[in-house]
Amino acid sequence: MPEDHLARYIVEVIDQLDLSKLTRRYSRSGSAAYHPALLLALLVYGYATGTFSSRKLERATHDSVAFRFIAANLHPDHDTLAHFRKTFLVELEDLFVQVLSYA
């Protein structure tokens, strides 16, 4: 993937954001969770490329090199993506604005 690819840019921008509002709400019990930066980057890249459905995002982590790069070759299922989006809807709105301001 080229150095100037949008997927690389989104990962770099997400790494610069303060995600403490997301990470504080993660439970310390239960099974291991996907890092919020990974899920956020998948949503941002998905929205930027016209992929909005959590099922299509899940599929893209298997089929698309760019989505695989963002997801670090992990494959969050559609329920995880939909739950993340629903749970953090207010926080995600602010983070999306921050991503756009970087652009």
* pLDDT for residue 28 is more than 90: no
Q: Count the neighbouring beta carbons within 10 Å of the beta carbon of residue 47.
A: 13
Per-residue pLDDT, 25: 78
On whether the pTM is more than 0.85, the answer is yes
CA dist., res. 31 & res. 101, Å (int) = 35
Interval 81-92 mean pLDDT: 94
The overall average pLDDT reported for the chain is: 92
- Taking only the tens place, the pLDDT of each residue in 57-82 is 999 999 999 999 999 999 999 999 99
Domain ranges of the chain: 36-103
Q: What percent of the chain has pLDDT over 90?
A: 83
> How many angstroms separate the CA atoms of 28 and 3, rounded?
36
